[in-house]
Structure 1
Amino acid sequence: MTETVQLDFQSYIATAHALAERAGEVILPHFRTNLAVDDKGAAGFDPVTAADRDAEAAIREILSETHPGHGVVGEEFADTQADAEFCWIIDPIDGTRAFIMGQPLWGTLIGLTAHGAPVLGMMNQPYTGERFWCGETESYFTRAGETRPIRVRPCPVLDNAILASTAPELFDAAEGMRFEALSRAVRLRRFGGDCYNYCLLAMGQIDLVVESGLKPFDILPLVPIIERAGGIVTTWDGGDPGNGGRIVAAGDRALHAAALEILSA
């Protein structure tokens, strides 16, 4: 973390909380209503709604006023100053499929990078009133006005692990074979969850999250939450997760290594 980020961290986290509050105000009136759904996918259903667009627009408006020299990379609009020293990474509704189904398993992702490295992350779920976020050295869970630190749990072996993934269709045929091999090695596998899975991992509720086809805005805001809770996030070959793609997150480093052996085979 750079000195500038250390000096301004409290200001930046205050901004992130403000962004989360505003996004929630915009999104909640749309939830569990008969809102129109557009499909922006060229090779499969990729839904987007007015709630996605309006929330990101509201976030961008605040950032243009509070941090005009910062970049913004989001899911719904063109990048702004993406090569800036500090860049906000926004996914207004991660889990739009869950959103349009009325399932409260979506969240607003807000991250900040410095020179491309994630330094701040937040996931806000306004319907349940839950917020997962990171400080400079720890990660936290806030609900009903109370905040507490969160931590991953120890689970060094696969046969004791709980594995989560959003959906099997995330994987191509070759990826699916590796994922199934990993699934056979763990105690329990569950589908669904999107960004929620990563936060449950940081909270010590589950042990592994494995996905593919992620964009940077799907994962970058979650990386510091997991890492400062004691977890690890990489690509399937152990690389930097910042560009998205094939992602594996684990609460235990020994478990992560065991998962990589299968996923990178």
Structure 2
Amino acid sequence: MSVVELGRFMDDLAEASGQATVPFFRAQVALTDKAAGTAPFDPVTEADRAAELVLRNMIRARFPAHGILGEEFGSERLDAEYVWVLDPIDGTRAFITGIPTWGTLIGLTRNGGAVRGLMHQPYLGERFTGDGRSARLRGPRGERTLHTRRCVDLSAAMLATTDPRLFTEGDEAERFRAIEGRVRMSRYGTDCYAYCMLASGQVDLVVEAGLKPYDIVALIPIVEGAGGIITAWDGGPATAGGRIVAAGDPRLHAAALEHLNP
């Protein structure tokens, strides 16, 4: 499959997932707590499941030899050369409260490395894409190439994270607070949008923890394609999830790592 054909197929996936999710947004939907009361509330909706089923069926029909890793229905053929990594609704808490900072994440890995990524927000009509070399946004105001912005010092940085409670109390939370205490401003509740805003030059730094591969794989080629850097806190690959730090400027990333790895 050519690059153009792959891009079209990913657009088809995005369109289909949007048709599955938008009818449930700002509507009364049934919720299930995946944590079953044993951990902090971890909601899943009919929309999550419906969208992932659509994506899986389309991928199986087009690429039967490819693997799939999804949040709602587990994994298939993870030893394949190509593996699709899916999060039908990243930001389910935002989704169920009617706040449009959720998105569908569609990532593709080759031999374990993230090579293509798409974040689709169908309610706003925004689609962020990247291949590690470039990144673009298509939306109501047209299409444009994404670029991160220069920001050398933590004191000038805008930081985003989904929730400060992502960080376990103790050393992990202290490291986050050390970063947050040095930045110009921080914002919460951003989910996948934080990384797309970093790629757009609106945010300088994203620090998170407790992520799964389906939370991050699709966002890696977008951040890197816009000129940013995204790794684990120890500087290793971000594809496995866990503790993640992304920065629009490599120098800011290096400064953040110094505080995350004292």
TM > 0.5: yes
- 2:4 aligned residue: 10
Task: Tell me if 1:262 matches 2:256.
Answer: no
Task: Tell me if 1:107 matches 2:103.
Answer: yes
State the secondary structure of the residue aligned to 1:12: helix
Q: Is the 8 A contact 2:115 2:131 kept in 1?
A: no
**Shift of the alpha carbon at 1:185?**
0.7
Q: Is the 8 A contact 1:158 1:186 kept in 2?
A: yes
- Give the letter aligned to residue 52 of structure 1: D
- 1:153 aligned residue: 149
Task: Tell me if 1:90 matches 2:82.
Answer: no
Q: Is the 8 A contact 2:132 2:222 kept in 1?
A: no
**Shift of the alpha carbon at 1:136?**
6.4
State the secondary structure of the residue aligned to 1:246: strand
- Give the letter aligned to residue 214 of structure 2: F
Instruction: Specify every segment of 5 or more residues in structure 1 that has no aligned partner in the other structure, as ranges.
Output: 1-6
Q: Is the 8 A contact 1:87 1:113 kept in 2?
A: yes
**Shift of the alpha carbon at 1:43?**
1.8
Question: Relative to structure 1, is the Cα distance of residues 148 and 31 closer, same or farther in structure 2, using a 3 angstrom cutoff?
Answer: same
- Give the letter aligned to residue 27 of structure 1: T
Question: Relative to structure 1, is the Cα distance of residues 135 and 78 closer, same or farther in structure 2, using a 3 angstrom cutoff?
Answer: closer
Match of 1:134 among 121, 130, 134: 130
Deviations 1:54-102 (A, max 9, x none): 0000001111111111111100002111111111110000000000011
- 1:248 aligned residue: 245
Task: Tell me if 1:200 matches 2:197.
Answer: yes
**Shift of the alpha carbon at 1:176?**
1.2
CA distance in 2, matches of 1:217, 1:111: 8
Q: Is the 8 A contact 2:132 2:224 kept in 1?
A: no
- 1:190 aligned residue: 187
CA distance in 1, matches of 2:237, 2:130: 19
Q: Is the 8 A contact 1:52 1:76 kept in 2?
A: yes
- 2:29 aligned residue: 35
Number of equivalenced pairs: 259
- 1:4 aligned residue: none
- Give the letter aligned to residue 199 of structure 2: A
**Shift of the alpha carbon at 1:198?**
0.3
CA distance in 2, matches of 1:69, 1:11: 17
Task: Tell me if 1:176 matches 2:168.
Answer: no
TM, length-normalised to structure 2:
0.96
Match of 1:122 among 96, 118, 125: 118
CA RMSD of aligned residues (A): 1.1
TM, length-normalised to structure 1:
0.95
Q: Is the 8 A contact 1:108 1:125 kept in 2?
A: yes
Greater per-residue helix proportion: 1
Task: Tell me if 1:23 matches 2:17.
Answer: yes
Deviations 1:178-226 (A, max 9, x none): 1111111110011111000000000000100000000001001100100
CA distance in 2, matches of 1:14, 1:198: 23
- Give the letter aligned to residue 39 of structure 1: D
